[in-house]
Amino acid sequence: MQDNSSLGSYIDRNKQAFFLGSLMALFMGDLFFPEAIQPWVIRVLFVQNMIFGLLVVREKPKWLRQWVAFLLVVAVVRVLALLYDPLFPGQEAVGFGLSIFYFNTILIVLFVDLYRAKSLGMESIYAVFSGFILLCLAFSFIMMYIHGLDPQALTGIDPPGTFSEYLYFSFITMLTIGYGDISPVTEIARKAVLVAALVGHFYTVFITALIIGRLFR
């Protein structure tokens, strides 16, 4: 009993570190596998990240834990359905909605935790990194969906493109690097890129203000 209690306490103290590690696995994991199976690797890594996402909401209200658990069940069912029929109707819309709901839920939880934190330690730093990666992941799925609906939406990516390409575009947009190798063409793609850049700036300002506020409190 004591060992279980100690393990639970250790997990609670380091839940942000575990979650950041699972995000990095989702972010970088496909590099170690052949391109032919990368879509399946991403799906599996997405599910494992959702499992670690349950750690983030472990001590949150019951309805929030149930919501994340429900999203996890939907993700697992979707993977199983794709194994049975890779082209089942609506699977792309389900994947898009699932990713947006999940990433935004965890992102809001991280924002609230950072805002309420009385001090900023390593767990807060892990949460800051996780928050930015979550923003980039969410935007990459949005652009993947937009490009799937309209193959002319982006230049520099041959439809359907790989997850790594959209993730790369997401990061250079959020970081306002803009190499120009991938560019939005259609109106909706351009508006999405503008929103992403604004959100990236807001996140930087928010975190900077939060850190300064904690230092001089």
Q: What is the pLDDT of residue 7?
A: 65
CATH number at residue 37: 1.10.287.70
Q: How are the residues of the chain apportioned to helix, strand and coil, as percentages rounded to the nearest 5?
A: 80, 0, 20
Q: How many domains is the chain built from?
A: 1
pLDDT digits (tens, 9 = 90+) for 55-89: 899 889 999 999 999 999 999 999 998 888 877 77
- 3-class DSSP assignment, residue 184: strand
Q: Which pTM value belongs to this model?
A: 0.84
Predicted local confidence at residue 199, as pLDDT: 87
Contact 34, 144 (CB under 8 A): no
Q: Rounded CA gap, 201 and 189, in Å?
A: 19
- The whole domain housing 170 covers 2-215
Q: Which residue has the higher pLDDT, 53 or 162?
A: 53
How sure is the predictor about 3, in pLDDT bands with cuts at 50, 70 and 90? low
Residue 215: predicted pLDDT: 60
Mean of pLDDT values over 191-210? 86
CA atoms within 13 A on the CB side of 184: 22
Burial of 19 (0-12, 13-18, 19+ CB in 10 A): buried
pLDDT of the residue at 29: 80
Measured distance CA(187)–CA(182) in Å, rounded: 15
pLDDT above 70: residue 217: no
Report residue 180 as tokens: 């120009």
Mean of the pLDDT values across residues 172-191?
Answer: 88
pLDDT tens per residue across span 4-14: 567 667 777 78
